[in-house]
Homo-oligomer: A and B are copies of this chain.
Amino acid sequence: MGIVAQLNQDRINDFALRVGTVNGTGSASANSLLLQALFRMGIPVSGKNVFPSNIQGLPTWYEIRVNRDGYTARSPDFALMVAMNPQSLKQDIAEVQSGGWVLYDSSKELGEELLREDVTFLGIPLARMCAESFKKARERILMKNIAYVGALVALLDIDMDVVKGMLEEKFSHKPALIESNFRAIRMGADYAREHWACPLPVRVRRMDANRDKVMITGNAATGLGCVYAGATVGAWYPITPSTGVMDAFKEWCERFRVDPETGKKRYCILQAEDELAAAGMVLGANWMGARAFTPTSGPGISLMSEFIGLAYYAEVPSVFVDVQRTGPSTGMPTRTQQCDLILTAYASHGDTKHIALYPADPKECFEFAVAAFDLAERFQTPVFLMSDLDIGMNDWVIPRLAWDDAYRPDRGKVLSAEELEKAKSFFRYLDVDGDGIPYRTLPGEHPRGAYFTRGSGHDKYGRYTEDDEAYVEVVDRIARKIASAANHVPAPEIHRVEGRKAPYGIVSLGGAHWAVLEARDQLLAEGVDVDYLRVRGFPFGAEVDRFLAEHETVFVVEQNRDGQLRMLLALETPCPRTKMIPVNYYGGQPLSKGHVLGGIRPVLERAKTEVAS
């Protein structure tokens, strides 16, 4: 069969595999062992965890893609399926590429109806083997996972020493586990070598692509960014997929922020009673002069809306991390989307507009987390760090993080006690410098610094007012202030076709970036001239306007139903909405090349035929 033939040609460091298991059975650690091994072999690799909103017993999947060219966006073309879960066996077998392989537990016969002509079945009696070589029930379940890793080591030609090394590191404190785990690995590998021609045509080979790389989740990087930004107060209410941010902040703080003498904390994490309270705590702490933040997800942002409006109008710096998940409402808490763009841009009643940052990977989560605090204090307003489940919860291979020790927080215009002592007077909301940004003071510093923070109507002196002109003067200044932030949010990343003016442009953001890059390269290879701009901050700057103006046709690629980035571009740039063609995928999986091309190709075709006719 053609396809089989194709797959049977060597495909080194260029394929995707999927592992189907039961959640809560320890397969997670086995899968990350696998991912890490490939990473340490220097191969560009990515892992995507597809898990249910449930704690134990339901089907869960883990996808790994290796790609020598560095394309690590999700790929749904699975050359190899590790089908360990009877519940999902049927679906899993159905989803493997024609010509591919299915590794399954042959302790139990495969039902006739499941068999496929065009794939190769590799049966290995894992349950039986583990039952024979391990005593404890729990151990037998866990080792089954390690054993399929072993089989893959052989099938894919993974470096056994690397695996052994990792086990030794991981269990350095309990050597017994090193032995048992490695026994399971070898058991799987040996069986594979004895029964099948190893390695398979699809396999890996050492590269040197990861020399300056690290592997980390976006949530861990965000939490670390908050530590490096000097945040001292974190308030939160647990919600998937944002929980990891505070877990990480806590972990790093325990390491870096505990007074060695007293063992006391140089930080305070408040688990609030709900998201409204978490937002209030963030405002209160920032009011006092601490850098405070709250990580949450869509439902939390909805609940925080009232407080967000207060922070906007009373000009209280505050950082909100929105790790987006599939909405609306409770939606699919363990699936990803970019669906809170409109909500966060204009959150709360009345006229508002908020600064937002759109990281594309954990590296930017770290960097933008720091930027978020600087922007929040400089502009005295809420700032949203817009991550998502894919970036936040999956392990990503990224360039090693760097830190400039010369960095000092941008606290914005804060008057010191000394300055207040010298000053004749202080008024909270005066536009002294003509840049729309007033001066603020920190409570307790100086009697002259006192002012009244309120969400009710106030004039530029901070006094309560119901006078139309006094009210208008303040809200107009705030509008100017936020508009000016466009020049301070991270500039867009732009990829242009060398030398030629491209008729097509793509605009995208966040985690969609990687699939867009891959799709664009393919289009370029096919001779289609297409430029690409990745928005990294809101409000948008002049470069975005220019890019939109420069191209006849612009594709806006994003992971939501209604084209929310496209909506923002229509509202905030001169570009007419009609010129921007929506390319939306919102099924909850990370974006893949196919989604992008699927949206772009038909338009290109039409263009061709129009030209032709």
Judge whether A305 is part of the interface by a CB distance below 8 angstroms: yes
Question: Is A571 an interface residue when CB atoms closer than 8 A count as contact?
Answer: yes
Within 584-605 of A, Cβ neighbours of B (below 8 Å) are at: 586-589
B residues less than 8 Å from A334 (CB atoms)? 466
Which of A4-12, A307-315, A531-539 contacts its partner?
A307-315
Distance of A588 Cα from B350 Cα, bound (Å): 12
| A466-B334, A475-B561, A578-B576 known; A301-B349 Cβ under 8 A | yes
* Residues of chain A from 315 to 361 with CB closer than 8 A to chain B in the complex: 326-335, 337, 339-340, 342-343, 346, 348-353
Q: Inside 8 A of A442's CB, which chain B residues have their CB?
A: none
Q: Are B346 and A343 in contact (CB under 8 A)?
A: yes
Residue A471 at the chain B interface, CB threshold 8 Å: yes
Contact with B along A433-464 (1 / 0, CB 8 A): 00000000000000000000011110000000
Give, as a whole number of angstroms, the nearest-CB distance from A306 to chain B.
4
| A53 in the interface (beta carbon within 8 A) | yes
Query: Are A561 and B455 within 8 A (Cβ)?
Result: no
Stretch at the interface among A202-210, A372-380, A562-570: A562-570
Give chain B nearest CB distance to A566 CB in angstroms: 9
Is the CB–CB distance between B476 and A561 below 8 Å?
yes
Specify which of B299, B301, B331 is in contact with A457 (CB 8 Å cutoff): B331
Which of B309, B468, B570 meets A335, CB within 8 Å?
Answer: B468
Instruction: List the B side residues contacting A578 at CB < 8 Å.
Output: 574, 576
Kindly report which residue of chain B lies nearest to residue A475, judged by CB atoms. B561
Given contacts A326-B471, A329-B314, contact A571 B577 (CB under 8 A): yes
Question: Roughly how many angstroms separate A52 CA and B589 CA in the complex, as a whole number?
Answer: 53
A472 within 8 A of B: yes
A508 at the interface (CB under 8 A from B): no
A299 (CB) vs chain B CBs: closest residue: B306
**Which of B330, B349, B570 touches A328 (beta carbons < 8 Å)?**
B349
A218 contacts partner chain B, Cβ-Cβ < 8 Å:
no
User: What's the minimum C-beta distance from A340 to chain B, rounded to whole angstroms?
Assistant: 5
Is A309 in contact with B327, judged by CB distance below 8 angstroms?
yes
User: Cβ of A241 < 8 Å from any Cβ of B?
Assistant: no
Q: Mark A531-555, 1 if CB is under 8 A from B, else 0.
A: 0000000000000000000000000
* Cα-based distance from A138 to B543 in the complex (angstroms): 68
In angstroms, Cα B564 to Cα A500, docked, is 39
Q: A298 within 8 Å of B by Cβ?
A: yes
A326 interface neighbour in B53, B457, B576, B586, Cβ under 8 Å: B457
- Is A127's beta carbon under 8 Å from chain B? no
| Interface contact A456-B329, CB-CB below 8 Å | yes
Contact B331 A456 (CB under 8 A): yes
Q: Is the CB of B351 within 8 A of A343?
A: no
Task: Name the one of B53, B468, B564 contacting A466, with C-beta atoms under 8 angstroms.
Answer: B53
For residue A327, which residues in chain B have a CB less than 8 angstroms away from its CB? 309, 313, 348-352
User: A455 contacts which of B312, B329, B472 (Cβ < 8 Å)?
Assistant: B329
A600–chain B nearest beta-carbon distance, Å: 19
Q: Taking A302-B306, A586-B351 as contacts, is the C-beta distance between A330 and B455 under 8 angstroms?
A: yes
Residues facing B in A92-110 (CB within 8 A) are none
Q: Are A475 and B586 in contact (CB under 8 A)?
A: yes
Judge if A303 is at the interface, Cβ distance under 8 Å: yes
Q: Is there contact, CB below 8 Å, between A466 and B335?
A: yes
Q: Which residues of B lie under 8 Å from residue A564 when comparing CB positions? A: 351
Known: A53-B456, A351-B564, A567-B571. 17 other contacts (CB 8 A): A303-B305, A303-B306, A306-B329, A309-B328, A328-B455, A328-B475, A330-B456, A331-B350, A331-B457, A340-B350, A343-B346, A343-B348, A351-B560, A468-B588, A472-B587, A574-B577, A576-B577
Can you list 26 A-B pairs, Cβ within 8 angstroms, ordered by A?
A53-B466, A297-B349, A298-B349, A302-B309, A302-B348, A313-B327, A314-B329, A327-B351, A327-B352, A328-B349, A328-B475, A329-B350, A329-B455, A330-B454, A332-B456, A339-B351, A351-B562, A351-B586, A469-B587, A475-B586, A479-B561, A479-B562, A570-B571, A571-B577, A574-B578, A576-B576
